[in-house]
């Protein structure tokens, strides 16, 4: 469908063309993406259930892990089901409104993940560096000081670049070389000047994940310095921090590579860029609950108890 705007034809429906270079092999992508969606759904749902049902896990740190699991559960749902239908039945159309809604959900949840990792780093900082004041800092009224400002920042920036994308005219082609509505994948189809859109996108990338990453790095430097200075073998604290660093490093690395692939000259094929974009969504969603389940003692113990109870009931 097309509409006439200012003498030009502006598309209001689009088609995804991601991975079409694979030709007849493309439907086989259904298999890995389906199993990654299944792994994400089962593992995150199990983690959420454990944290809600087990009172021993009702601590600030575990609640934050539970919130991360909720995001990891929701994130793929906005993307992967449509991709699976596209792989199997070539249902690859989306309206401009649907594309903008999907774009907002993807980028807002992504920004929320980054901020949540920052909150988890702050939790570890207070627990290790300020243990006497930990409960005071983690009380809801006090902790809201660290919550409200980042949420307003994330919402404002994501809303800004989605709103600006909605104002563009798309008169060149209606084929989005992607499997979902990523910001630059849509904006680069516009027939007008997109410098403001690009600037707001870069600003959001700097003020959200980059700033969060800087504060996370500072928190962990102070944590490790405090542990070394105290000369105590705080293996539990170090183990928890290493877990967070693994999750943060993988998540931010995939997101950064996918983001930069649109803005700098590179030899990435379109298929590689699309794969990286789906990877930064699916990889954390699939493996965050596994990493936290294996490396967090309390969660691991509750999971083993949960599996034992299931075995008893099944006999």
Q: Which of 26-35, 40-49, 80-89, 212-221 has the lowest mean pLDDT?
A: 212-221
Q: State the average pLDDT over residues 79-85.
A: 91
Q: pLDDT at residue 178 above 80?
A: yes
Mean pLDDT, the chain, rounded, equals: 83
111-120, 196-205, 264-273, 286-295: the lowest-pLDDT one: 264-273
- Tell me how far apart the alpha carbons of residues 82 and 88 are, in angstroms, rounded to a whole number: 10
What is the pLDDT averaged over residues 8-12?
A: 74
pLDDT at 14: 92
What pLDDT score was predicted for residue 234? Answer: 60
Mean pLDDT of 137-154: 81
pLDDT at site 183? 87
Q: Give the predicted TM-score (pTM) of the model.
A: 0.86
6 or 183, higher pLDDT? 183
Query: Which pLDDT belongs to residue 37?
Result: 92
| Mean local confidence (pLDDT), 84-95 | 90
More confident residue, 234 or 114: 114
Give the mean model confidence (pLDDT) for residues 106-135.
85
Q: pLDDT value at position 184?
A: 84
> Across residues 91-100, what is the average pLDDT?
92
Has residue 208 got a pLDDT over 70?
yes
pLDDT band with cut points at 50, 70 and 90 for residue 219:
confident
Examine the pLDDT at 7 and tell me if it is beyond 60.
Answer: no
Find the mean pLDDT for residues 274-298. Answer: 81
Can you tell me the distance from the alpha carbon of 63 to that of 43, in angstroms, rounded to the nearest whole number?
A: 16
Q: How much is the pLDDT for 214?
A: 87
In SS3 terms, the chain reads as CEEEECCEEEECEEEECCCHHHHHHHHHHHHHHHHHHHHHHHHHHHHHHHHHHCHHHCCHHHHHHHHHHHHHHHHHHCCHHHHHHHHHHCCCEEEHHHHHHHHHHHHHHHHHHHHHHHHHHHHHHHHHHCHHHHHHHCCHHHHHHHHHHHHHHHHHHHHHHHHHHHCCCCCCCCEECCCCCCHHHHHCCCCCCCHHHHHHHHHHHHHHHHHHHHHHHHHHHHHHHHHHHHCCCCHHHHHHHHHHHHHHHHHHHHHHHHHHCCCCCCCCCHHHHHHHHHHHHHHHHHHHHHHHHHHCHHHHHHHHHHHHHHHHHHC
pLDDT digits (tens, 9 = 90+) for 18-38: 888 888 888 999 999 999 999
- pLDDT tens digits, 224-246: 888 777 765 566 666 667 777 77
- Per-residue pLDDT, averaged over 265-282, amounts to 74
Torsion sign across C-alpha atoms 141, 145, 150, 156:
positive
The CATH T-level fold of domain 28-71+96-167+193-314 is Rhopdopsin 7-helix transmembrane proteins (1.20.1070)
Query: 3-state SS of 82-99?
Result: HHHHHHHHCCCEEEHHHH
- The angle at the Cα of 240, spanning 235 to 243, to the nearest 5 degrees, equals 125
pLDDT confidence bin for 159, thresholds 50/70/90: very high
Confidence at 196, pLDDT banded by 50, 70, 90: very high
Query: Which pLDDT score, from 0 to 100, does residue 6 have?
Result: 45
């Amino acid at each position: 469908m097309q509409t006439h705007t200012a003498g030009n034809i502006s598309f209001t429906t689009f088609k995804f063309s991601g991975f079409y270079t694979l030709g007849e092999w493309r439907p086989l992508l259904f298999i890995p993406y389906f199993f990654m969606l299944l792994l994400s759904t089962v593992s995150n749902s199990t983690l959420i259930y454990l944290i809600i049902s087990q009172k021993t896990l009702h601590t600030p740190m575990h609640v934050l892990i539970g919130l991360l699991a909720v995001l990891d559960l929701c994130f793929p749902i906005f993307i992967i089901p449509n991709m699976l239908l596209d792989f199997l039945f070539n249902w690859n159309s989306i309206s401009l409104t649907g594309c903008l809604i999907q774009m907002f959900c993807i980028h807002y949840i992504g920004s929320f993940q980054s901020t949540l990792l920052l909150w988890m780093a702050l939790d570890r900082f207070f627990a290790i560096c300020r243990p006497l004041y930990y409960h005071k800092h983690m009380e809801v009224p006090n902790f809201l000081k660290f919550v409200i400002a980042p949420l307003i920042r994330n919402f404002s920036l994501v809303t800004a670049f989605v709103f600006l994308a909605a104002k563009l005219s798309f008169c060149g082609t209606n084929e989005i070389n992607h499997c979902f509505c990523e910001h630059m994948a849509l904006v680069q189809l516009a027939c007008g000047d997109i410098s403001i859109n690009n600037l707001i996108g870069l600003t959001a990338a700097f003020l959200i994940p980059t700033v969060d990453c800087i504060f996370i790095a500072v928190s962990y430097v102070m944590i490790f310095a405090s542990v070394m200075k105290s000369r105590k073998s705080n293996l539990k604290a170090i183990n928890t921090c290493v877990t967070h660093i693994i999750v943060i490093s993988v998540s931010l690395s995939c997101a950064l590579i996918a983001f930069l692939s649109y803005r700098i000259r590179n030899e990435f094929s379109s298929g590689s860029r699309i794969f990286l974009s789906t990877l930064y969504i699916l990889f954390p969603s699939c493996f965050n609950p596994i990493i936290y389940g294996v490396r967090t003692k309390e969660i691991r113990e509750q999971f083993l108890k949960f599996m034992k109870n299931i075995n008893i009931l099944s006999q």
